[in-house]
Homo-oligomer: A and B are copies of this chain.
Amino acid sequence: MSVELLLSGLTHVHTREEFTKKLALGRPLRVKLGFDPSAPDLHLGHALVLAKVRQFQEAGHLAVIIVGDYTARVGDPTGRSKTRPALEPEVIEQNAKTYTDQVFQIIDPKKTEIRHNGEWLAKLTCADLLRLNGQVNVARLLERDDFSKRHREGVPISLAEFQYPVLQGYDSVAVQSDIELGGNDQLFNNLVGRDLQRQAGQEPQVVLVTALLTGTDGKQKMSKSLGNHIGITEPPTEIFGKVMSIPDETCALWRDLLGSFLGLPKESPSHPMEAKKELAAAAVRRFHGESAATAARSDFEAKFSKKDLTTAEMESFRPSSATLSVAKLVQETKTIASNSEARRLITQGGVKLDGTKLADPQAEISLQTGQVLQVGKKTFFRIHL
């Protein structure tokens, strides 16, 4: 595999010269990737980095996955973050299993070494930490984007947070990594690893970072906590529908970043809707196989073509009564957050029964089993009395 291919799609290579030298060693390189066991589910954003790991495996190198079990046991020592409680060992192991099950849908388990950082961090003494910390410059830590922003805005940063990049860097020393892969937001941390390796008499790892994938909102980076993610274990129709919901520009971006991982041809279909369908089908195919991709596409097309509504599979919905007002019907589907919003959608023609607009919120209607209720652009129910 060519150097060019291995470095394709990366936003940072530190350094290219060292990378070429490492490859020339002619032995399998140790390609490190860290994992925080408090969030085990993978989404397409992770897939981007993992696809790169996979490329290295195909070129004969070894993936070294670090499970950050030690720090997960500590949790958030400031007590500020409720989303980072101290995890019990059993939960960490369960999460690590979930993670590896998902990771191995992308990378090759036979060329993977899984290590828990408790193996070496539990042995560190206070003196060891002082020596490691002696190599790290506070001003450089404060230059890291997130820290510098918080410091400027007077948002507290605890000293423990300064410790994590050092511990993560020490992981690189412990596993003697040749290369560390990560998203763009890990660039700083992974560079710290280089300093500590050098101090420990090792050749510093080459740091490679990928772009961060934008979420389905087309604005922020993909993240479970922002709800703009596509999990790789989500059902085919979910994945398909979520890809179809992204802005056109995001589609082009995703295609650039994920295209080769998803096996798409270089040329994108010229029609935006068709380009999205191709991307959506490829994403489903990658995680659920060819027939699921075909089914998800037909299903989606059926839902959005009025003609085929009678045969498409969809969720059934049982109203509290066969006769009720349109406003009440929409409210019972629990798809719209507030009553005023529901009323607006109805009067604007966004609610349909078998393709016919129900534009008066107060109108009483009679329902029959088998009818198709559409609420907004994407949500369909089959009435079941």
Contact = CB atoms under 8 A, between A and B. Distances in A.
Interface of A: 70-71, 73-74, 76-79, 121-122, 124-127, 129-131, 133-139, 141-142, 151, 154, 156-163, 166-167
B133 A159 contact: yes
Contacts of A151: 138-139
A137 B78 CA distance: 10
Contacts of A167: 126
A133 B70 contact: no
Contacts of A161: 138
A55 B124 CA distance: 42
Given A77-B133, A131-B74, A131-B77, A141 B126 contact: no
A78 B134 contact: yes
A127 B74 contact: yes
Given A133-B159, A134-B158, A139-B157, 8 more contacts: A73-B127, A77-B134, A78-B134, A126-B129, A129-B163, A133-B162, A137-B158, A141-B159
Contacts of A71: 130
Contacts of A136: 158-160
15 contacts: A77-B133, A124-B125, A125-B125, A126-B167, A129-B129, A131-B160, A133-B158, A135-B158, A137-B157, A137-B158, A138-B142, A138-B161, A138-B162, A139-B154, A159-B162
A77 B76 CA distance: 27
A369 B126 CA distance: 63
Nearest to A128: B126
Contacts of A70: 126-127
A184 to B, nearest CB: 23
A216 to B, nearest CB: 34
A73 B74 CA distance: 28
B159 A138 contact: yes
Contacts of A122: 125-127
Among A70, A130, A142, A163, chain B packs the most CB atoms within 10 A around the CB of A130
B127 A126 contact: no
A88 to B, nearest CB: 14
